[in-house]
Structure 1
């Protein structure tokens, strides 16, 4: 199974395409599952969740209960490591969780952005959890996105937690309702393609009042 997946990936590379193979990914997952079968720091789950409509999604999940099972091997091969988090606190717990040890140097820094340039808004009633995703929810998200874009005189960036959420926003009519040109980062884009996309955005002739919508879907 893995050999077949590897063959498919090599064929895609030769064709100049992104080497994506579901067969290869499935084989890698099953191999990891077998390797971790006797370990106590992994959880083996059979998960069931509801998708759109009445459909149900069933999956096998392998969850590492201890992050050091992943970070320990990496840290043992480097002289020093810099780890950055914008949310995790306290720092002692963060360092222990990643296995940095008692000698780790810890520091906290203030945001580099002036307070007058930061406005945090939280909207009630929007939920992107898998079981609550629906056409109505995404249409409401589009309403809010469009309202913000229309109220912003300069360029706008929309960041989502996954490509699937970004795709759902577009399917809910985001691109059609915007009165700006929209640039979209897509799954599988190479670094060169991303650089070209950014260059295209930054070289737009704003003297002609070209409206630009920048959308990046986080992996």
Structure 2
């Protein structure tokens, strides 16, 4: 059971799909993990339980940061929780694993969400407002051989994420995917999505995809 303040993203299937990929990796006392867009801190707790010795959680939402801090305390896990705009609070640090479940729901416009819950879901007209920033900014946070585990919807163009990450020297593969029913955000936006051609008429499911993007730049330089 995870504590969640109102307005904080409730862990759903994308959270647990990502958690499965995170905990399936070899995490040890020396592993440095960054939980980006941490929400309730479910992935921070999972990283600690899997053996990671150094976990940092970041979210722009004050309520999310508080929820993560409380859940780590309740689960007796040591996590550094920081409130800030994406990678800004950790820009000088390097991580072995960055795990990210960002907002990726297409919204009515590109304005910054005004509602608290909007911060957890809304990501601009194409749903890529945060995804694009992650693809550009996270590669510089990876230690040599480090990996970004990123979850997103196929509605937001998995190929664009792959291309952006590969352009920054990462080796990208799809490591998990699953078709799931629309959650609360998309269920209320089906007409808008149909009008934009993002879903087929009557479509009420989406494919959730986990990408693993690994830093191979140091390996390439050594050849």
Looking at secondary structure, tell me which structure has more helix per residue: 1
Looking at secondary structure, tell me which structure has more strand per residue: 2
Structure 1-normalised TM-score? 0.28
Structure 2-normalised TM-score? 0.28
